[in-house]
């Protein structure tokens, strides 16, 4: 219980990961404007207007902020779900390839392992593609030099990796190492991986409609501009401090929305894509360390297409 | 950090993409009405009625505005998801056709490439259909002149393109170039593309129920009409300006809802359908530049239906 | 821009499609009650009780109204989605039957066209079933007289039509005109059409729980009954008018919920089921005008089940 | 219009189906407490504390009540959807079994009809299982005495019925009366019926987290306890009545949430499970009255597995 | 009715399962701070600042608290759904394996039963993995000692169990005991079990974005810090008590969110994972007690792959 208490108070004053650095300038400007109004008030200008407090209904501000928050969080969570689906599909596809594809020659196992690594390469290429980074060494360890060279010339590297995986599956089918039903099932899992790529691109490239973003910013600016006129009569010299406080609250909520709307970046509030890719690779390596029992029977495999 | 600050303030005063042009007239009328009331007040008419401020509960206004906002945004996002699904299906269908359909004669590759282009044509025809535009040159580059001519006479061009794609798949199956399981899998992807067409038509043709649209407009009008009576006692000659400000806030939120409810148009808050179609075409062209390995084995393909 | 302005003001005063006719009586009663209270006030009865204004928290009223609104709209939209799914499935099923079923004899094409018409008949029968109307001439044009006669005796006509379609598909399979995988794929689309029927029946037969409906009505009645006591001290003879106004707002929101909760009726806020059915029929007729290429090969079709 | 008016007013004063009986005691206690405070006030105790009215923010109360309401309604609706899925699956499974399973001997039709009845038995057994009732006569009419006897000894009767249906399908496949693809498709529909059972058990056995239930009750109690101190200064002897009124509103909303959270019981706000089961049975009986055309060909059925 | 009344009041004062122990320290600190302010007030310091009450809009606090609540509850419910899916898949997979896999030798039944137990082992291993506990005796009862030994060395035990199940299915297929379509259907159910594992890991490892957690805590702290200045003028020495009360309400809502956000732990508000696992095991044991009819035909099974 005690440790949890400390944790709570440690978190509340934490700067890293909070939005304070991002909104510092705006809050400062609001605070200075508040101070300026209290100066005018001190000089007997008629700036005290308590009625301003009711002009912008705080319920409208509140609801639009929450709409912004919900929307941004849903994108964050949808992005996370997409990556979760990617992890699941890589695991399922890898397990089924490992278990089902028959190894006739010793080099078949080698090409199998290379294909499993391609699955992880797909995830890493997706990560780099979403971050608009060129393909790099991280990827080079998982694919052949020829593939690496080819990828450099492509618009959308993950799509080419999906092509290679699909091509491997089709050629295993043509050689009679999997049958047609399994081919379709494995292709469906691959389709689902390409769907994840599309979902992430969609989240990345379609922000909240511009008109909302602008209108909300305008509302917040109007709200914070009217605030000192409302407060100065009661708070005097403290006006600046409290205007800064309120602007900190409302700009903070907006800023979080902006930050998590695109969850594929590098900062502390984004998705841990590097960790997810590492987990996938570890799972694949674990899988390769197990040996499937069916391969003992590979020599006399009886399949529909070779049964006659 | 600094650049982001500037960006924030640039956005807040931005006119293009904001709803200001659309609601300008209504805001002006409200402002003039407010000014008229302050004139009456100055002439000692008993127009100051602070109790009017509590008549229309602002929480009801706020919640209905947010309901409008949520509904419109969900349609926008559902439209975006539908197009994302279209992108995914085009990619998956193209990859599988490219990898799986066996090429016996040299002209088979040609018909394969034409079919891949038909996939993009489906997307473009859907775009034109949603915008109620006739088929145009953009489409003519992707289909044969005979097809172009035929499309001109049709009620629903995307459906005919889907028919041609389905027809191609079925004829490949009849000629033994894909097997039955793959045919069904590819037809399912095609079905999903037709589902996208249906989903977009649904969003386009079923706006929010009329009764909601009317009732919300009536509420906003009542709210803005009562406002000057409430404010004039405190604000005097400023009444017009502040009534305009509040009407700007509430009409703005409603207007955004109206604008993004149908996301298939041309303005800045709509979906970037042209860009999406271009991306699809680029992905298809990239795919055609890769050559699948299985075709080396096309000569001795062994399929269930020709195995005896 | 200008035309849009006019449109906005035309809509706001529109009676048809609005809820005003439905709530007219209740609003009138509230207004008269308000007038009665202002009469008592004039006669010096102690009816002015401003504290009543805070008794029923307006936030609770507002949130329950929005809950009602959301729930009703979700049903409306779910009903629309179900019909959208029906349109998609009819299109996909029709296209695949048209493309895939082999025609051996000339009369095979006739039975194919009759089956495509049965798909539209399913939609129309569903529409009539949801509206609790007997089957009529609209349906008679699409089915054979024998079927029409049979349908008259059935509890759930759409289910029998689904049976006929399923029976057709199975018999085509038995005669070797489609293969087993296609049969399963087509049956799945048919299943999905029956799912739509079930979804619409669910929306129709399960209104919002009775306890909510009652409790919300009680709340609104209490709210509107206390309102005149709260307002009469400030508004005097105007009390009746403003009580009517507020009751118009809250009863209006509730009434819209009631109206769109069952979206399968005839009024202006319901789904355009007739238009949707007409579109389906037009799409089917368009499809029949196209001739699939594979039928040239129908004579020497090679299928698994007839390959030996 | 007029009849609808009467209906509205009849509903608002309706006791059956409303939550009044359930919350009567709590409301009475709150009213008596309010009366006690007004007594103390009359005896000049310093109990009038208007500031208490602002302590518990009514927006927090309102939002938590709505959260409760939404959550409970979502469970209600999810339960309804699950039963809708059950209806759909029973219809689809029955139609496909009726159409597709070949009848070689006359007794095959008998076992087919028994299996169709087992589908309804599954639904009824699920209903009884959710209501924690033992299996009864309703079920005995649909299954054989031996099965009835066996079911009595089982923990989860619906699961055993699913086993019998699955066993029937598998044995039809082993005897060559359906082929492998159809078997898989039918098993998938059966899986989906078992999924419905699981979904209902989940809704039944996982109420809203205890901490929420407790915290909301505490909040409501605090709110209602502070209310008389806030009101007594203005309302005097009427305090008790109005405290009862407000507690009626808030406890009512909470109580509805509790009632519909588990929608599988017997009261008026629960799902009409008996009616749904009756509809299923009627649909099955209708289906049995139709005779599928394919059975004429049953004698010379040509299937993959028996084609050589 | 009466018993329900008692139940309500018993629940409201219940400590176990409530959040009171977790937030006790924070509430106490707020109370003491409130008392300190009332002491300063008594010593005539100018601490009474009623305007502070309006600074932090309570609607923003309320909406953010509800956002927190909704988000946490959705994760709780998504976790519950994932486990519900696991239960369904284990039931369906077990039933189909039991019914469909042909037993040639007596030891085949033994290996079948071991595989059914592996399904439960998958669920238990998932539970232990989510709780970051090593594999234990509970698991040892369901798997072979060799498997138990192997599992100890693995990063992700459930994935290895899934590998063993997949391996068993594939080897049954290779030996001709199930056919290809069934293999794919069973592998799909297994994929879905691995999806559940991934969904739970996702919920566990991706808490609400840090920036939200921090910002909400800061808001609550500011709100509770300003509260005594607002209240002390009216409440005097009672300030501490009422500040404690309000902080209890708001910290309580936040704390519940924190507690149910990760629903896989041990406390009373978490999911009953142990009970769910026990139910699965009981269902499997029930299933094993039934004997499928098709096995009588196992000797002369006629499958595609062995039909020639």
Which comes out higher in pLDDT, residue B60 or B87?
Answer: B87
**Any residues with CB less than 8 A from the CB of D153 and at least 6 apart, and which?**
none
Q: Which of D54, D118, D206 would you mutate first to test chain E, the one with the most E CBs within 10 A?
A: D206
Taking only the tens place, the pLDDT of each residue in A218-272 is 999 999 999 899 888 888 898 999 999 999 989 999 998 888 888 998 888 889 9
Band the pLDDT of A6: cuts 50, 70, 90: low
Band the pLDDT of D267: cuts 50, 70, 90: confident
Chains contacting B (3 or more CB pairs within 8 Å)? A, C
Whether the predicted pLDDT of A208 surpasses 80:
yes
Inter-chain Cβ pairs, chain A and chain B, closer than 8 A: 182
DSSP string computed for D94-146: HHHHHHHS---SHHHHHHHHHHHHHHHHHHHHHHHHHTT----HHHHTTS-HH
Considering only CA atoms, which of D81, B88, B199 is closest in space to residue C85? B199
Q: Which of B8, B15, B90 would you mutate first to test chain A, the one with the most A CBs within 10 A?
A: B8
Q: How far is C66 from chain D (nearest CA, A)?
A: 10
**Residue A268 confidence (pLDDT):** 80
Q: How many CB atoms lie within 10 A of CB D163?
A: 22
Q: Which of C290, C291, C301, C305 would you mutate first to test chain B, the one with the most B CBs within 10 A?
A: C290
Band the pLDDT of E300: cuts 50, 70, 90: very low
Q: Which of E95, E103, E226 would you mutate first to test chain D, the one with the most D CBs within 10 A?
A: E95
| Nearest CB partner across the interface for C91, out of B66, B159, B305 | B159
**Residue D194 confidence (pLDDT):** 97
**Residue A305 confidence (pLDDT):** 38
Q: Which of C30, C170, C189, C255 would you mutate first to test chain D, the one with the most D CBs within 10 A?
A: C170
Contact D203, D78 (CB under 8 A): yes
Contact between chains at B286 and A154 (C-beta distance less than 8 A): yes
**Residue A84 confidence (pLDDT):** 96
**Residue E7 confidence (pLDDT):** 73
Number of domains in chain C: 1
| Nearest CB partner across the interface for D17, out of C25, C54, C214 | C214
Q: Say what angle helices B157-174 and C273-288 make with each other, to 10 degrees.
A: 50
Query: Tokens 């001439």 belong to which residue?
Result: C137
Residue E66 lies in a domain: yes
For A102, list phi and psi in degrees, rounded to 5: -75, 135
| Nearest CB partner across the interface for D155, out of E80, E96, E282 | E282
| Dist. CA B118–CA B139, nearest whole Å | 9
Identify all chain E residues contacting A12, using CB atoms and an 8 Å cutoff: 214, 217-218, 221
Band the pLDDT of B307: cuts 50, 70, 90: very low
Residue B255 lies in a domain: yes
Q: How far is C155 from chain B (nearest CA, A)?
A: 30
| Dist. CA B293–CA B290, nearest whole Å | 10
Q: What is the ipTM of this complex?
A: 0.90
Contact B156, C286 (CB under 8 A): yes
| Nearest CB partner across the interface for D305, out of E19, E189, E303 | E303
| Dist. CA D79–CA D202, nearest whole Å | 10
Inter-chain Cβ pairs, chain D and chain E, closer than 8 A: 182
Task: Please give the structure tokens belonging to residue D121.
Answer: 């038995």
Whether the predicted pLDDT of E52 surpasses 90:
no
Identify all chain A residues contacting B254, using CB atoms and an 8 Å cutoff: none
Taking only the tens place, the pLDDT of each residue in A32-49 is 999 999 999 999 888 888
Contact between chains at A163 and B17 (C-beta distance less than 8 A): no
Q: How far is C22 from chain D (nearest CA, A)?
A: 7
Q: How far is CA C303 from the centre of its chain?
A: 43
Residue E30 lies in a domain: yes
Identify all chain D residues contacting E64, using CB atoms and an 8 Å cutoff: none
Contact C33, C228 (CB under 8 A): yes
Q: What is the dihedral of CA B204, B210, B212, B216, to 10 degrees?
A: 100
Whether the predicted pLDDT of E303 surpasses 80:
no
CA distances from B38 to B32, B240, B243, E159 (A): 10, 7, 11, 74
Whether the predicted pLDDT of B208 surpasses 90:
no
Contact between chains at C214 and D14 (C-beta distance less than 8 A): yes
| Nearest CB partner across the interface for C308, out of D73, D269, D307 | D307
Whether the predicted pLDDT of B301 surpasses 80:
no
Identify all chain B residues contacting C55, using CB atoms and an 8 Å cutoff: none
- H-helix or E-strand containing E188? helix E180-205
Query: Tokens 């005995």 belong to which residue?
Result: D140
Whether the predicted pLDDT of A59 surpasses 90:
no
Q: How far is B43 from chain A (nearest CA, A)?
A: 22
**Residue C306 confidence (pLDDT):** 37
**Residue E294 confidence (pLDDT):** 57
DSSP string computed for B164-215: HHHHHHHHHHHTTSS-HHHHHHHHHHHHHHHHHHHHHHHHHH--S-HHHHHH
Contact between chains at A249 and E219 (C-beta distance less than 8 A): yes
Of the listed ranges C26-35, D13-22, D163-172, E130-139, the one predicted with least confidence:
D13-22
Identify all chain D residues contacting E180, using CB atoms and an 8 Å cutoff: 180
Contact A295, A108 (CB under 8 A): no
pTM of the model: 0.91
| Dist. CA D249–CA D65, nearest whole Å | 11
Identify all chain C residues contacting D61, using CB atoms and an 8 Å cutoff: 57, 60
Residue C183 lies in a domain: yes
Q: Look at chain B and count its residues.
A: 308
Contact A297, A151 (CB under 8 A): no
Mean residue pLDDT across chain D: 87
Q: How far is CA E148 from the centre of its chain?
A: 25
Contact C95, B162 (CB under 8 A): yes
| Dist. CA A161–CA A141, nearest whole Å | 14
Residue A296 lies in a domain: no
| Dist. CA B231–CA B223, nearest whole Å | 12
Residue D109 lies in a domain: yes
Contact E61, E241 (CB under 8 A): no
Band the pLDDT of D6: cuts 50, 70, 90: low
Whether the predicted pLDDT of D166 surpasses 60:
yes
Contact between chains at C211 and D259 (C-beta distance less than 8 A): yes
| Dist. CA A271–CA A260, nearest whole Å | 9
| Dist. CA A26–CA A248, nearest whole Å | 8
Residues E106-136 as b/e (b if ≥16 CB within 10 A, e otherwise) read: eebeeebbbbbbbbbbbbbbbbbbbeeeebe
Q: How far is B294 from chain C (nearest CA, A)?
A: 24
Residue of E nearest to A54 (CA): E54
Considering only CA atoms, which of B142, B177, B164, B101 is closest in space to residue C293? B164
Boundaries of domain holding D127: 23-290
Residue E92 lies in a domain: yes
Whether the predicted pLDDT of D299 surpasses 60:
no
DSSP string computed for E67-123: HHHHHHHHHHHHHHHHHHHHHHHHHHHHHHHHHHS---SHHHHHHHHHHHHHHHHHH
Q: What is the mean pLDDT of residues D158-176?
A: 93
Residue of E nearest to D219 (CA): E249
Q: Say what angle helices A273-288 and A58-100 make with each other, to 10 degrees.
A: 20
Provide, for chain E, the percentages of residues in helix, strand and coil under a 3-state DSSP scheme, each rounded to the nearest 5. 80, 0, 20
Identify all chain A residues contacting E225, using CB atoms and an 8 Å cutoff: none
Taking only the tens place, the pLDDT of each residue in C230-250 is 888 888 898 999 999 999 989
Whether the predicted pLDDT of D298 surpasses 80:
no
Residue D59 lies in a domain: yes
Q: How far is A3 from chain E (nearest CA, A)?
A: 11
Taking only the tens place, the pLDDT of each residue in E232-289 is 888 889 899 999 999 998 999 999 888 888 899 888 888 999 999 999 999 999 999 8
Taking only the tens place, the pLDDT of each residue in E90-144 is 999 999 999 999 988 888 899 999 999 999 999 999 999 999 999 888 899 899 9
Contact between chains at C210 and D269 (C-beta distance less than 8 A): yes
Band the pLDDT of C295: cuts 50, 70, 90: low
Q: What percent of chain D has pLDDT over 70?
A: 93
Q: What is the mean pLDDT of residues D211-218?
A: 89
- The sign of the torsion formed by the CA atoms of A198, A202, A204, A205 equals positive
**Residue B6 confidence (pLDDT):** 57
């Amino acid at each position: 219980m005690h440790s949890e208490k400390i944790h709570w108070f440690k978190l509340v004053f934490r700067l890293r990961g909070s939005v304070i650095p991002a909104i510092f300038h705006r809050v400062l400007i609001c605070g200075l404007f508040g101070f300026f109004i209290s100066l005018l008030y001190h000089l007997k200008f008629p700036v005290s207007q308590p009625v301003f407090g009711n002009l912008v209904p705080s319920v409208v501000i509140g609801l639009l902020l929450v709409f912004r928050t919900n929307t941004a969080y849903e994108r964050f969570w949808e992005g996370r779900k997409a990556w979760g689906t990617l992890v699941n599909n890589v695991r399922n596809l890898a397990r089924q390839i490992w278990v089902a594809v028959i190894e006739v020659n010793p080099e078949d196992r080698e090409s199998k392992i290379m294909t499993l690594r391609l699955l992880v390469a797909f995830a890493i290429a997706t990560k780099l593609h979403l971050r608009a980074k060129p393909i790099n060494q991280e990827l080079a360890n998982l694919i052949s030099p020829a593939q690496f060279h080819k990828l450099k010339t492509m618009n959308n590297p993950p799509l080419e990796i999906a092509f290679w995986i699909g091509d491997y599956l089709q050629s295993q089918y043509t050689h009679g190492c999997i049958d047609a039903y399994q081919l379709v099932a494995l292709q469906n899992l691959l389709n689902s991986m390409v769907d994840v790529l599309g979902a992430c691109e969609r989240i990345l490239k379609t922000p909240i409609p511009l008109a909302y973003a602008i209108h909300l910013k305008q509302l917040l600016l109007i709200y914070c501009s009217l605030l000192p006129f409302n407060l100065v009569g009661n708070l005097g010299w403290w006006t600046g401090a409290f205007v800064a406080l309120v602007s900190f609250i409302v700009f903070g909520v907006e800023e979080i929305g902006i930050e998590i709307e695109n969850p594929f970046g590098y900062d502390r509030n984004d998705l841990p894509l590097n960790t997810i890719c590492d987990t996938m690779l570890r799972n694949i390596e674990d899988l390769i360390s197990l040996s499937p029992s069916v391969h003992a029977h590979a020599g006399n495999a009886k399949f529909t297409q070779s049964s006659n």
